[in-house]
A = this chain, B = another copy of it.
């Protein structure tokens, strides 16, 4: 592992990559535009430039529905009166990069960086940092610079452009943008092969889609690797990060109903269930 501590810390892994011409993945010290100093994992090996790990979504209790640890949805239970804990939008932080595969992670860069693109890695739970890269079995990133249009980071996208209020938007019709991705490990077929017979027919692979509305008008923050097909509204089995309330308590949670035990035809492959979604910016 590399740990670079310098007097004038860079604000992103991309800046480190350009300055130092290093291509070593590992832990680096950054200082954001607000003066916050923190260390996070940099991926220096994917294409040109460095990618900054800003968050991981970790499901600590797959059968829990908005229970303790569901920071990316709500820790307040399956509850008709709430509208999410605001972790996608707000300035709270949690966890550490070395623990990003065992716990939710969110650093300052998630809401302070002025970034252009998003990369996602799917990494098995409890993988040590030295094996983040080698263990990631799905890797893909956007290339269009779409984040610039939404304030430079996901906090801004969800706060100012794609609000996640419950029961305010129309299923499918009001879904947020689906940004095409380039694959670095895996491909559309490999991803779809991890979907079940039912969820398979709901999605198109090769995208990251944001703020997706399901049948019950709950908002899902992010569909990793896919977008919902036109008219498809069972996003609770596909996407992550929703406080969706319903009487059956199946729509709420960090991973929502990706593991839908009542009907195996909706269950995603265990590799998707038992791994974290790492979010990088560049």
Shortest C-beta distance, A31 to chain B (Å), equals 7
> Chain B contacts of A68 at CB under 8 A?
68, 75-76
Q: Tell me if A101 and B96 are in contact (CB < 8 A).
A: no
Measured between beta carbons, the chain B residues less than 8 angstroms from A95 are 92-93
Which of A43-51, A123-131, A163-171, A211-219 interfaces with chain B?
A123-131
The count of identical subunits is 3
Specify the main secondary structure of chain A where it touches its partner: loop
Q: Mark A47-82, 1 if CB is under 8 A from B, else 0.
A: 000000000000011011001110000011000011
Decide if A148 is an interface residue (CB 8 Å cutoff). Answer: no
Q: For the complex, is A99 an interface residue (Cβ under 8 Å from B)?
A: yes
Query: Number of residues in A with C-beta < 8 Å to the partner?
Result: 44
The 3 A-B pairs with the shortest beta carbon distances in the complex, nearest first, are A1-B35, A92-B103, A91-B102
Binding site for B on A (CB under 8 A): 1-3, 26-27, 31, 34-37, 39, 60-61, 63-64, 67-69, 75-76, 81-82, 85-86, 89-93, 95-96, 98-99, 101-103, 108, 112, 125-126, 128-130, 159
Q: What are 20 residue pairs bridging A and B, where the CB atoms are less than 8 Å apart in the complex?
A: A1-B36, A3-B31, A27-B35, A34-B129, A34-B130, A35-B129, A36-B96, A37-B39, A61-B76, A61-B82, A63-B81, A63-B82, A67-B76, A68-B76, A86-B102, A86-B126, A91-B99, A92-B99, A93-B96, A112-B128
